[in-house]
Structure formats: structure tokens, C-alpha cells
């Protein structure tokens, strides 16, 4: 038993456990209800359930619209993640490596898209795409979805990579140069191994954010349908509600798995986590400003 726990009154310990349980119940009971209704053999959402069945999972698998939307979401997620890994890591290296006027402002601007309301980002992208259509014939497509998602996915990768770079000892890089290694060798054998898990975690989180994005998607997709957009379009149709429950359950799993893997990857030896996501703006803003690396 730890010293802190030993000196805490038993009533406080019980109260904190109850409070934690209530918070977890508040967060996860609605998700559990959705998953439970996905196994409901009846079309109506009545309680108690008449039983458990995979009927609607089979129906969902045979639904061509759902399968097409799923593939579109995968393509959009992979495309946005690829762009985010490239631009986010390059931006992190530049801000961390080079000292220039306005570097802190640049760092703040890079993380700003994560703080903007999704509807504002969507409207801005929609106006830009419409303008591009008038000037160069740009049209709404899968590529506009990818570009829209990349605007906030870049922030996730940038925040992970630059946080890891600032916790990496600069003496390792200096020692590599002193031993005769060039820039490419130093990056390959020193820098990349130290940020590899941050890149992987950033990519997984970026994919998870892209996969379940709906607000920006509505403004940039045109006739393209992603899985979240399909749910949004069919949620109010009673005949589709059982299939919507199944699709929502699949979307839940597809979002939780990358987040869980990213959490495992970003755990350092002290047990800390790199908190990243739309709900972690305080952490993102804090990491946007340079901290001296540990020598």
C-alpha cells in the first residue's frame, strides 16, 4: 500500500472510486447500448431485447452502400494519414531544428486547425473548393475529402513528433556528427529510431480522426459517401436503424483500436502519455512552444 493511500480517509477513497465509476458509466453506457442494439433481432428498439442475433450484421455485410462507404472511409483515412505523416513530420523537424524569427508563432499556427470549430474549417474548405472549381475546374471528390481531413490530421502528427524531438537528447545527434556520420545517416540511425513510435502513434491517431470525421466531410465530399456520413443520412430512417446500429458499432471499434495502439506506443518508461486529439488542445498548445531537450 502506498503512503498516499495509507493516509487518505477510507471515505475519501470510496468516494473517489464511486465518482470514477459514475464518470465511466456516463461515458460508456451509451456506447454499450448502441452495441447491444446491434445484436437485437427485432427491427424496433424495444426493451428488454427479445434475444440476441447476428441478423443485422449479415444484412449490413450484404448492403452495397455500406460496403462502398466503408471503402471510401478507408481510402480517405489512408490518404489523409499519408499527407499528415509527410507534412507533419517535416514541419516538426523544421520548427525543432532551425531557429528563425517567428518560430513560436509558426508552431502555434500549425496547431490552430485543431482548435477551430469543424464547421468553420468545413465552410472555409467548401468555399475554397468552389473557387477552385471556377478557376481550375476543381470538383468535390475523394481527394477533397482527403485534403479536408489532412488539415487537422497534420496537427496530430506534428504534435506527437515535435514533443518526442524535444524530449530527445541533442547530445546523441552531436555525437553522431562528431563520429563522422552525415545528415542522412544521423537521421536513419539516431533520429528515426527515437521518433519511430511517435510517428506510428501520430499516424494511428490521424487515421482514427479521419475515419470518424463527419462535419468537415459534409462540406468537402460532394456525392461521395463515407461511413459517418452514411450513418448521418440514414439515422432518421426507421427501417435503417438496425443497420445503423451495426455500422456505428463497427465505426466504434475501428476508431478505438488505433487510439489504443497509439496509447500503447506513446507510453514512455515513466508511464506518461502523449495526449493528442481534438479534445487535447491544452496539451497541444503547451507542446507548441519549445522546451529545452534533456542533455
Return the pLDDT at 285: 41
Q: Which of 7-16, 29-38, 243-252 has the lowest mean pLDDT?
A: 7-16
Separation of alpha carbons 111 and 91, rounded Å: 11
Q: What are the residue boundaries of the structural domains of the chain, listed by start?
A: 1-27, 65-287
Which residue did the predictor score with more confidence, 186 or 146? 146
Mean pLDDT of 243-262: 82
The answer to whether the predicted template modeling score (pTM) of the entire model surpasses 0.85 is no
Percent of the chain with pLDDT over 70: 86
Return the pLDDT at 205: 86
Residue 282 has pLDDT above 70, yes or no: no
DSSP 8-state symbol, 225 = -
Separation of alpha carbons 78 and 22, rounded Å: 36
Which residue did the predictor score with more confidence, 144 or 4? 144
Mean pLDDT of 273-285: 44
The grid coordinates listed for 282 are 491544452
Encode pLDDT of 115-133 as tens digits: 888 888 889 999 988 888 8
Separation of alpha carbons 281 and 117, rounded Å: 12
Distance of CA 247 to the CA centre of its chain: 19
Q: pLDDT band at residue 150, thresholds of 50, 70 and 90?
A: very high
Return the pLDDT at 82: 94
Helix pair angle (103-115, 142-166), 10° resolution: 130
- Report whether CATH 2.40.30.10 matches the domain 65-287: no
What number of other Cβ atoms are within 10 A of residue 55's Cβ? Answer: 15
Separation of alpha carbons 36 and 18, rounded Å: 25
Separation of alpha carbons 167 and 176, rounded Å: 17
Q: Per the omega criterion (within 30 degrees of 0), is the bond before 48 cis?
A: yes
Contact between 287 and 275 under an 8 Å Cβ cutoff? The reply is no
Which residue did the predictor score with more confidence, 193 or 73? 73
Return the pLDDT at 293: 42
Encode pLDDT of 65-106 as tens digits: 888 998 999 999 999 999 999 998 888 888 887 777 777 788
Amino acid at each position: 500500500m502506498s503512503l498516499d493511500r495509507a493516509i487518505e480517509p477510507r471515505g475519501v477513497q470510496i468516494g473517489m472510486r464511486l465518482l470514477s465509476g459514475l464518470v465511466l458509466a456516463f461515458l460508456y453506457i451509451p456506447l454499450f447500448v448502441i452495441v447491444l442494439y446491434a445484436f437485437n433481432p427485432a427491427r424496433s428498439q424495444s426493451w428488454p431485447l427479445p434475444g440476441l442475433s447476428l441478423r443485422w450484421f449479415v444484412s449490413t455485410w450484404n448492403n452495397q452502400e455500406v460496403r462502398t462507404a466503408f471503402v471510401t472511409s478507408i481510402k480517405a483515412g489512408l490518404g489523409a494519414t499519408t499527407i499528415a505523416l509527410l507534412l507533419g513530420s517535416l514541419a516538426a523537424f523544421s520548427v525543432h531544428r532551425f531557429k528563425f524569427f517567428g518560430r513560436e508563432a509558426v508552431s502555434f499556427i500549425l496547431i490552430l486547425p485543431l482548435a477551430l470549430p469543424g464547421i468553420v474549417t468545413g465552410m472555409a474548405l467548401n468555399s475554397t473548393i468552389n473557387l477552385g472549381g471556377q478557376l481550375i475546374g476543381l470538383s468535390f471528390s475523394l481527394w477533397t475529402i482527403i485534403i479536408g481531413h489532412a488539415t487537422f490530421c497534420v496537427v496530430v502528427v506534428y504534435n506527437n513528433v515535435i514533443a518526442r524531438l524535444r524530449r530527445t537528447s541533442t547530445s546523441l545527434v552531436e555525437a553522431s556528427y562528431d563520429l563522422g556520420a552525415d545528415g542522412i545517416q544521423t537521421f536513419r540511425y539516431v533520429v528515426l529510431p527515437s521518433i519511430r513510435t511517435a510517428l506510428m502513434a501520430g499516424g494511428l491517431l490521424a487515421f482514427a480522426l479521419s475515419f470518424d470525421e463527419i462535419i468537415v466531410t459534409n462540406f468537402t465530399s460532394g456525392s461521395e459517401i463515407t461511413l459517418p456520413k452514411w450513418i448521418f443520412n440514414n439515422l432518421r430512417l426507421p427501417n435503417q436503424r438496425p443497420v445503423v446500429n451495426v455500422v456505428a458499432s463497427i465505426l466504434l471499434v475501428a476508431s478505438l483500436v488505433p487510439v489504443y495502439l497509439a496509447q500503447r506506443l506513446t507510453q514512455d518508461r515513466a508511464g506518461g502519455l502523449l495526449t493528442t486529439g481534438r479534445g487535447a488542445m491544452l496539451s497541444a498548445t503547451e507542446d507548441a512552444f519549445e522546451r529545452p531537450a534533456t542533455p
